[in-house]
C-alpha cells in the first residue's frame, strides 16, 4: 500500500498543490483508491464523509486533465446537496490549481444564467446536483459527449433524497466508454443495482470509517430533560468556551428556536436550513469560516459536505435519528488530523437510541456530568475579567479617567469598580437544572420496571402512558423512567417506592378502550 503521495507517480504540479493544501500523507481511502483510479479502473469506495474521499477521486481527475484540452468537460461529479457540490468543486480547484484544471459547481438556488456563462467559457470538471445537471442537459448548455470520468459522491444520500431516477438518466447520457467511481457510506440494494448496471468490473475499496472517524474524537453525552436542554447547552458553551461550535437539530423549527434563544442570550450564533435562500446560507457559512460567528446551528442536510477544519465542538442538541447520521455529524470536527469533541444531549427516553448508536459505530460514548452552577459562574466571571483586562491593555478606557476621578471623591475605588462591573456583566447567576447529572433511571437508582398489557397494536404512544399513569396516580411524569412500547405489551419504569401505588391504582383500568393489567416485570433469565 502506498504511504506517500509521490509513490503514486503523481505530477509535481499536483504534489505541490497538495503540499500547499497541507496534505502530508494519504488517508486510508486515498491509499487504496488513488492507485487503481489513476489506472482508469472503475471504483466502488465504501467511505464516510470526513475520510478524505474527495481527494481520492479528485487527484485522478486532475491528473487525467493533462491529456484533454477540449472546451467541453471531461469529468462530472454528482453530489446530493448544493453545499457538497460547492465543497467538492473548491477542493478540485485547489488540487488542479497548478495544472490549470478548472471545476465549476452547478446547483439549484443559484442563477442558472451565471452557470450557463461559466459553462460556455469552457470548464474541465462539472460538479453538480442531479436536478440542476438534468436542467442543463435539457437546455443543451451542458454537453456530455467528452465525459471520460463520472463520480457518484455520497450515492446512498442521493438515493435517500430521491435522486435515483435522475442519476440513472445522467449515466445513460454520458459515453459508455468511461471511468466510473462511486463513493457511498452504505450500499443499499438500489445502489448495488446501479453499480452492476453501469460499472465495469469495479474494484471495491473499503475503509472502516466508523472507527476512523470516531477514534480521534472525544465523545460525551449528558442526560437532561427536554425542557432543560437550552440551559444545559449554554452551560457547556460557557465552560467549554469552544472556538467554533456546530450544533445539530432535527427540524428547521428547532434550528430557528435554538439559534434565536442563543442570540437573545448574547451568543454569536447563526443558523442554516433548507428554507433559507442560498445567498443567506453562503453568507452565514462565510461568517462561520472566518470566525465572525462562534456557533452554527443546522439541520443534517444543510450541513452536509461542510468542511471547516477549525470546528472544535459538535453538539447534538437532538440525538440523531439514525446511527449513520451520528457518524456524519461528529465527522464535522476532528478534521485534517485535529482532535475534536462531540457532545450529545440525551433525554432519559432516548437512552436506548444512544446505545444503538454506540453499537453501530463500535464506539463508547462516555457519560459526563454537566458543569455545576459554580463552574458556570466562575467561567462567566473569568470571561468578564479577561474582557476587562483586554480593555485596559488597549488603553481605550482612558477617556473615562475624569469621570472616575470625580466618583472617587465620593466613593471607595472598590465600590466604583464593583458597581461598574455589575452594570456591564448583567446577571451572573445560573439557572438550576433538575437532576441533570443522573437522570437516566435504572434499577440501582431506585426504579422498578412494570409490565403493562397494552402495546403498539392498540395505538398506544409514550405520551398516552405518561398521561395515563399521571392521571391515575397523581404522580408527575418526571418521576417516570424509561418507557418501551412493543406490539402487544409495554414496560414503564417508576420510582421503586411508588410501584405498589401504580399497580394498585391502574390494574383493570381502561385505556384506549382496553382493560389492562399492570404487574412487576419479570427479570430476564440468561
**Domains and their CATH numbers in the chain:** 5-207 (3.40.50.300), 210-437 (3.40.50.300), 443-520 (3.30.70.330)
In DSSP terms, which residues pair with 495 in a beta bridge?
447
In sequence order, the 6+-apart residues with CB closer than 8 A to the CB of 519 are 450, 451, 503, 507
Q: Which pTM was predicted?
A: 0.50
Burial of 168 (0-12, 13-18, 19+ CB in 10 A): middle
Q: How much is the pLDDT for 425?
A: 58
Contact 357, 365 (CB under 8 A): yes
pLDDT reading at 244 higher than 50: yes
With residues binned 3-state (H G I as helix, E B as strand, rest as coil), the percentages for the chain, rounded to 5, are 50, 15, 35
- How many CA atoms lie within 13 Å of 388's alpha carbon, on the beta-carbon side? 14
In sequence order, the 6+-apart residues with CB closer than 8 A to the CB of 498 are 473, 475, 479
Q: How much is the pLDDT for 439?
A: 39
Q: Tell me the mean pLDDT in the region 364-381.
A: 83
pLDDT reading at 5 higher than 80: yes
What pLDDT band is residue 57 in, cutting at 50, 70 and 90? very high
Residue count of the chain: 526
For 66-101, what is each residue's pLDDT tens digit? 545 667 899 999 999 888 899 899 999 999 999 999
pLDDT reading at 189 higher than 60: yes
| Beta-sheet strands, E only, within 115-237 | 125-128, 149-153, 179-184, 203-206, 217-223
Angle formed by the axes of helices 373-394 and 413-425, nearest 10°: 110
Contact 5, 27 (CB under 8 A): no
In DSSP terms, which residues pair with 493 in a beta bridge?
449
Contact 511, 466 (CB under 8 A): no
Q: Tell me the mean pLDDT in the region 98-112.
A: 91
Q: How much is the pLDDT for 203?
A: 93
Q: How much is the pLDDT for 444?
A: 40
Contact 4, 24 (CB under 8 A): no
Supply the mean pLDDT for the chain: 83
pLDDT reading at 430 higher than 70: no
In sequence order, the 6+-apart residues with CB closer than 8 A to the CB of 146 are 68, 70, 72, 73, 74, 175
171 vs 388, more confident = 171
What pLDDT band is residue 303 in, cutting at 50, 70 and 90? low
pLDDT reading at 237 higher than 80: yes
What pLDDT band is residue 438 in, cutting at 50, 70 and 90? very low
pLDDT reading at 443 higher than 60: no
Residue found under cell 477514534: 215
60-64, 234-238, 420-424, 504-508: least confident range: 420-424
Amino acid at each position: 500500500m502506498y504511504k506517500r503521495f509521490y509513490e503514486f507517480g503523481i505530477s509535481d504540479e499536483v504534489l505541490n498543490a497538495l503540499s500547499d493544501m497541507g496534505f502530508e500523507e494519504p488517508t486510508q481511502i486515498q491509499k487504496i483508491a488513488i492507485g487503481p483510479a489513476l489506472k482508469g479502473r472503475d471504483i466502488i469506495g465504501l467511505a464516510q464523509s470526513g475520510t478524505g474521499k474527495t481527494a481520492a477521486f479528485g487527484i485522478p481527475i486532475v491528473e487525467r486533465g493533462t491529456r484533454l484540452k477540449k472546451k467541453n468537460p471531461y469529468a462530472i461529479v454528482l453530489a446530493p446537496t448544493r453545499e457538497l457540490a460547492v465543497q467538492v468543486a473548491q477542493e478540485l480547484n485547489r488540487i488542479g490549481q497548478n495544472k490549470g484544471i478548472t471545476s465549476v459547481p452547478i446547483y439549484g438556488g443559484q442563477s442558472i444564467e451565471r452557470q450557463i456563462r461559466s459553462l460556455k467559457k469552457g470548464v474541465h470538471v462539472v460538479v453538480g446536483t442531479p436536478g440542476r445537471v438534468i436542467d442543463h442537459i435539457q437546455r443543451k448548455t451542458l454537453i456530455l459527449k467528452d465525459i471520460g470520468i463520472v463520480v457518484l459522491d455520497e450515492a446512498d444520500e442521493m438515493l435517500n433524497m430521491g435522486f435515483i431516477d435522475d442519476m440513472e438518466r445522467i449515466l445513460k447520457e454520458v459515453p459508455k466508454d468511461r471511468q466510473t467511481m462511486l463513493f457511498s457510506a452504505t450500499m443499499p440494494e438500489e445502489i448495488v443495482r446501479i453499480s452492476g448496471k453501469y460499472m465495469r468490473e469495479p474494484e471495491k475499496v473499503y475503509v472502516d470509517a466508523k472507527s476512523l472517524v470516531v477514534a480521534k474524537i472525544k465523545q460525551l453525552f449528558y442526560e437532561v430533560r427536554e425542557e432543560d436542554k437550552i440551559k444545559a447547552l449554554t452551560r457547556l458553551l460557557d465552560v467549554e468556551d469552544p472556538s467554533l461550535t456546530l450544533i445539530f437539530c432535527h427540524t428547521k423549527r428547532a434550528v430557528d428556536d435554538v439559534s434565536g434563544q442563543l442570540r437573545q442570550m448574547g451568543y454569536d450564533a447563526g443558523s442554516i436550513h433548507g428554507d433559507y435562500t442560498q445567498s443567506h446560507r453562503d453568507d452565514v457559512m462565510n461568517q462561520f469560516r472566518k470566525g465572525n460567528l462562534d456557533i452554527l446551528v443546522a439541520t443534517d442536510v444543510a450541513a452536509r459536505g461542510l468542511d471547516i477544519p477549525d470546528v472544535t465542538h459538535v453538539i447534538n442538541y437532538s440525538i440523531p435519528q439514525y446511527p449513520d447520521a451520528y457518524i456524519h455529524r461528529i465527522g464535522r470536527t476532528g478534521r485534517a488530523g485535529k482532535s475534536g469533541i462531540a457532545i450529545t444531549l440525551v433525554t432519559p427516553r432516548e437512552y436506548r437510541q444512544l446505545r444503538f448508536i454506540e453499537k453501530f459505530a463500535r464506539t463508547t460514548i462516555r457519560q459526563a456530568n454537566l458543569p455545576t452552577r459554580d463552574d458556570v459562574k466562575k467561567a462567566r466571571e473569568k470571561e468578564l475579567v479577561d474582557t476587562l483586562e483586554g480593555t485596559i491593555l488597549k488603553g481605550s478606557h482612558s477617556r473615562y479617567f475624569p469621570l472616575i476621578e470625580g466618583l472617587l471623591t465620593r466613593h471607595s475605588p472598590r465600590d466604583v469598580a464593583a458597581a461598574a462591573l455589575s452594570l456591564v456583566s448583567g446577571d451572573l447567576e445560573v439557572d438550576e437544572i433538575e437532576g441533570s447529572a443522573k437522570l437516566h433511571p435504572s434499577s440501582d437508582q431506585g426504579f422498578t420496571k412494570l409490565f403493562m398489557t397494552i402495546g403498539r397494536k392498540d395505538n398506544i404512544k409514550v405520551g398516552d402512558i405518561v398521561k395515563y399513569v399521571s392521571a391515575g396516580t397523581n404522580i408527575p411524569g418526571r418521576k417516570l423512567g424509561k418507557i418501551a412500547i412493543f406490539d402487544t405489551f409495554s414496560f414503564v419504569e417508576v420510582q421503586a417506592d411508588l410501584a405498589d401505588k401504580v399497580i394498585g391504582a391502574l390494574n383493570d383500568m381502561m385505556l384506549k378502550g382496553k382493560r389492562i393489567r399492570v404487574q412487576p416485570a419479570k427479570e430476564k433469565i440468561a
